[in-house]
Amino acid sequence: MYTAIFYLATYGIIHRFLKHTRVGLMRIFFLIFLVFFMACSEKKQQPPSLQEQDSISFNESNFIKPEKSPFFYKELLKIQQQIIHNPRERIYREAYIVNAYIDNNNALISLGSARTKDPESGTEINPVMAKRAALIDAKRWAVYGLLWLNNDFKPEFGKISEQYSGVFKELYSFNHNDSLTIAIATRVR
């Protein structure tokens, strides 16, 4: 604000001077210089990109881990199982979003499961590989959850094969039967 007033006052003084000397070309150059200088000096800061916003909002120092009980995660897993068995039923997708979306964190909780034993041979699966598979499944559920949240609960389950590639936080893990389940939180844009 003050810089604009200063430039206008300076322009008025110089304009009177140039008017008396009748140097029109200098007026034009001066005006061009003044406009250029004002544009450069009052340059506005660019907003951060979406990737930077993900990093800013989900870094370790400002992410508040949702305090959920083991019961919550098991119930959310049941809802996910209902969606798998009834992929066209919108009511289960709505129930999933109602339970998985954490408003005060602007986060969506997703669960992913992977087997810990080979069903045919009964041998243990490498825990690192099981965890990786569970995370991939959780990221796929995150994509569904984000789409359902922003697109009126569409598409139906089973229609995509993508996985979430943004920033996420691992929240909780538990074993049930012969499976490992991992809960993650993803940022809702």
The residue range of the domain holding 14 is 2-41
Q: Are residues 109 and 57 in the same domain?
A: yes
Mean pLDDT over 119-124 rounds to: 88
pLDDT at 52 over 50: no
Lowest mean pLDDT among 11-20, 42-51, 77-86, 98-107: 42-51
- What pLDDT sits at residue 34? 54
Q: Are residues 20 and 63 in the same domain?
A: no
Q: Pick 115 or 11 by higher pLDDT.
A: 115
Q: How far is CA 123 from the centre of its chain?
A: 38
Claim to verify: residue 32 and residue 57 sit in the same structural domain: no
* Other C-beta atoms lying within 10 Å of the C-beta of residue 58: 19
- Residue 45's pLDDT is 42
Cβ-based burial of 84 (10 A; exposed 0-12, middle 13-18, buried ≥19): exposed
Give pTM, 2 decimals. Answer: 0.65
Q: With a cut of 80, say whether residue 181 has pLDDT above it.
A: yes
Is residue 11 very low, low, confident or very high in pLDDT (cuts 50, 70, 90)?
Answer: low
* Same-domain pairing of 114 and 152: yes
The whole-angstrom separation of Cα 157 and Cα 172 is 24
Closest Cα to residue 94, out of 143, 151, 134? 151
pLDDT, one tens digit per residue, over 151-177 is 888 888 878 777 777 788 899 999 988
pLDDT in tens, 57-97: 455 556 677 778 899 999 999 999 999 999 999 999 999 99
Do 65 and 129 have their domain in common?
A: yes
Share of the chain above pLDDT 90, in %: 40
Q: Which residue is it, tokens 């893990």?
A: 173
- Number of domains making up the chain: 2
Residues 8 and 77 in one domain: no
Statement to judge: residues 54 and 29 lie in one domain:
no
Counting residues of the chain whose pLDDT is more than 70, the rounded percentage is 66
Q: Within this chain, do residues 16 and 85 fall inside the same structural domain, yes or no?
A: no
Work out the average pLDDT over 95-111. 90
130-133: long-range pairs with CB below 8 Å, 24+: 130/180, 131/173, 131/180, 131/182
